[in-house]
Amino acid sequence: MIIVFGSINIDVIGHAPRLMRPGETVLGTTLEFSPGGKGANQALAASRAGGEVRMVGCVGDDDFANRALALLSEAEIDLSGVRRMDKHTGTALIVVDDAGENMITVLPGANARLTGAALEQGGIGGDDILLLQLEVPLQSSLTAARVARRNGARVMLNLAPYMDFPPELLETITHLVVNETELAGLLEIIDAPERDQVEAVKWLAERYGLTVIATLGPKGAVAVSGDETASVAGLRITPVDTVGAGDTFVGYFATGLAEGLSLADALSLANTAAATACLKPGAQPSIPERADLPAAR
What is the C-alpha separation between 140 and 126, in angstroms, rounded? Answer: 20
Contact 110, 85 (CB under 8 A): yes
At 118-166, the pLDDT tens digits run 888 888 999 999 999 999 999 999 999 999 999 999 999 999 989 888 8
Partners of 132 in the β-ladder: 5, 157
Q: Is the pTM of this model over 0.85?
A: yes
What 3-state DSSP class applies to 169? helix
Tell me if the domain spanning 2-16+31-287 has CATH number 3.40.50.720.
no
At 189-205, the pLDDT tens digits run 888 888 899 999 999 99
Q: Name the pLDDT band for 178 (thresholds 50, 70, 90).
A: very high
Strands 2-5 and 53-60: parallel
What 3-state DSSP class applies to 111? helix
Is 127 an active-site residue?
no
List 61, 247, 265, 292, catalytic entry? 247
Q: Which of 75, 81, 131 is nearest to 258 (CA)?
A: 131
What 3-state DSSP class applies to 260? coil
Q: Taking the CA atoms of 227, 219, 46 and 135 in sequence, report the sign of the dihedral they define.
A: positive
What is the C-alpha separation between 109 and 80, in angstroms, rounded? Answer: 20
Q: Name the pLDDT band for 297 (thresholds 50, 70, 90).
A: very low
